[in-house]
Amino acid sequence: MDDRVKGYIRALVQQGVRKVKEVKNQMVQYVRTELFQDTTPPLRRFFPTEKTIHAVMAQVIAEEHYSKIDLVNLLTLAENWKAEAPRINFLLRVQSEVENLLLCYQTDWQRRLLRQYGKEVCFLDAAYKRTRFPLPLFFLCVRTNVSVAPVGLFVVQSRSAEALGEALGVFRQWNRGWSPAYILTEHCPVEMKAVEAAFTGAQAVFSDHLRERTWTKWLSNRSRAITNQEGIFDMMKAIAGALTREQHQGAVELLQQSPIWLEKRQLFKNWFTNKWLSEEKRWANAVRVDIVNFVSMVNGGLEMQSDFFTHNNMKVHKKDTLSQMLQFLVDDYFPQMHQRYTDLNSQSSGEYNLNPTVPPFLWHRPWSVVALVMDNMSAALQDPDIVVEQASDGTFRVKSRAETTAPRSYSVSFGSESTWPSCECEVWRDQRLPCEHFCHVFRSEPNWTWEHLCPKYRDHPLLTLHSQTTHTTTDEMEDALNGLMHLSPASPVSLQWDGPEETVPLVQTPQTPQLQLHSIQTQWVAPQASQGLREREELQKEELQRECVVKLKSIMENVSGINDIDHLQELRQKLDVLQAQSEAMLVQKDASIKTVTTPTGKRKRAGVEIIVAMPKRIKVLSRVDVENVQK
């Protein structure tokens, strides 16, 4: 672009002109009447495209915006963050003649969520594009078991691969050992190049929500005059959502046989062929890796991405200075996201999740997962005329007897150590949760249950609750340990009491209001329902053992972030006590099942803890005894 034209565009923006078309019209008038009044100007240098004009305007607005920044306020924020170290990691490098602006920020709870959920797949969100913020503001995000959560932010001077790579390198240094194999971005060559250069062996893949957003925007552009946009969009979605390579190829051929393709609309053909089909490994389910499909789809993942990436609550701050935007994000937005994650996990905690109608394999899981699977169970009960045939070890064919002419059958695979489970139905494609066909196998094949699914799938953090990860500070972690130390499960307490004795369950299991499912009206008949008391106790024991292991792993991860020597010494002493208690529990294991005797001579239930609660004496029963009391 000619420097005179560029200078004129900059002057218009500084005068307050913000619309690209208006700038273009005035620029054309300027070139024809002032620069080349009597001659014809060259097209390329003096008549740039709207895209080039927009880039110049964005640069001017960003410079204006940065010039308005109160550097004192920005440095004050940095001082406040410094006072909260090591709970907060941040890096601030102000713009100078030799260096560009770089700001990175991450809290301790964000580091913990990154370790928990971001080992394999992360999101890179160009938040400034959706909020129209002048400076390149990016979020590093992870998909949690209940939401999409930001686990860090960074601001760079320019949207270049080098600047983005430098910022990602800062987060890599803050989180030792963190090297995700896949990072979801939008279809942006700069972002793709940056993430693949920042992490060895990493691959940039496309976010499904942002991909569909890009498709819709391209098709709806009036200048392209594309008719039947919904039909074309549905065919493109069928290509993306195909479960097998055969289905994927069939969907591609169906699009290529459509009128828009046969009418030789070169614009659409070139766009979809060169920009999308050439990169199908980054967005098509049939050729994309299983872990990315799982993270993107499981438990309503596409809706979660849509809710998060719109950033409606940030758009009102698009005219703020950088310090004002950071103040909002740090003081309001990030705490809200963390509280939402904590609340959703708490609402699905054991006291609500241990519903009498829920089978044990769904205990301690996000309530949305429970609701979806229970709906699929209800659908399976509504269609009893089903044949389940085992094709091979871990693979079954599920079909209906009612369809006599051409019965529709589905292949259900439980997966293996290296292969993820799968089904050929649309419900599995959209949810990545046990569908109706899996539920039919669960009912008819007692030797094939949830526990036989691929371990990577069955025990994935996205399918389990993590309420124990809400401890965000060292003090809170120590309070939790103190609570554990005051428990004495091997030493029941007895007290002389002359009043009446009352028996109450340890855990109340009220009907959870959110579970308004058809399956509640019909008892779910599964292998677990026919197990005796001893087998149920074994299930509960395994569940408790798994929870204890998860808590200990969380403590181990938190220890690496504690730098205070006094805190470490105190923590070690408390762990010594816990270790001694666990050894004592092993010694008292046989004694704990004997009948408890009391001076009053009253008969006591074997192995029951007595907890005193004044003014009445309450005998507390374990969960497995609740059913016997009701009987």
Q: Residue written as tokens 């972002």? A: 191
Q: Residue written as tokens 């929870």? A: 547
Task: Write b or e for each residue in 441-450: b if 16 or more Cβ atoms lie within 10 A of its Cβ, otherwise e.
Answer: bbbbeeebbb
> By the 8 A CB rule, do 436 and 518 touch?
no
Return the pLDDT at 182.
95
Distance CA 233, CA 212 (A): 9
Return the pLDDT at 214.
92
Return the pLDDT at 350.
57
> By the 8 A CB rule, do 203 and 246 touch?
no
Return the pLDDT at 249.
93
Give SS3 for 87. coil
Distance CA 444, CA 388 (A): 7
| Of 407, 402, 404, 398, nearest in space to 436 by CA | 398
Return the DSSP state at 158: S
Distance CA 148, CA 425 (A): 26
> By the 8 A CB rule, do 346 and 467 touch?
yes
Long-range pairs, 389-397, Cβ under 8 A, ≥24: 390/445, 394/448, 394/452, 396/441, 396/445, 396/448
> By the 8 A CB rule, do 596 and 621 touch?
no
CA atoms 501, 506, 511, 513: torsion sign: positive
Distance CA 433, CA 438 (A): 9
pLDDT digits (tens, 9 = 90+) for 524-546: 444 443 444 555 566 667 767 77
> By the 8 A CB rule, do 102 and 167 touch?
yes
pLDDT digits (tens, 9 = 90+) for 404-428: 445 678 999 999 988 899 998 889 9
Distance CA 237, CA 284 (A): 9
Give Cα 144 distance to the centre of its chain.
3
**220 burial via Cβ count (<10 Å: 0-12, 13-18, 19+):** exposed
Beta pairing, strands 395-400 & 409-413: antiparallel
Return the pLDDT at 467.
55
Look up residue 202 and give its amino acid: A
Element (H, E) at 184: strand 182-185
CA distances from 572 to 110, 164, 231, 482 (A): 25, 40, 64, 12
Low-confidence ranges of the chain (pLDDT < 70): 41-43, 63-70, 264-265, 350-355, 401-407, 467-540, 543, 587-631
Return the DSSP state at 529: G
CA distances from 139 to 24, 99, 150, 152, 185 (A): 33, 22, 6, 6, 11
Total-model pTM = 0.67
Give SS3 for 400. strand
Return the pLDDT at 535.
57
**207 φ, ψ (degrees, to nearest 5):** -65, 130
CA angle in degrees (0–180, nearest 5) for 163-148-214: 65
Return the pLDDT at 357.
77
Query: Can you give the length of the chain in residues?
Result: 631
- Token pair belonging to 65: 């915006």
Return the pLDDT at 477.
45
Distance CA 453, CA 361 (A): 12
Distance CA 246, CA 382 (A): 31
Return the DSSP state at 399: E
**Boundaries of every domain in the chain:** 3-67, 71-229+276-340, 366-460, 467-630
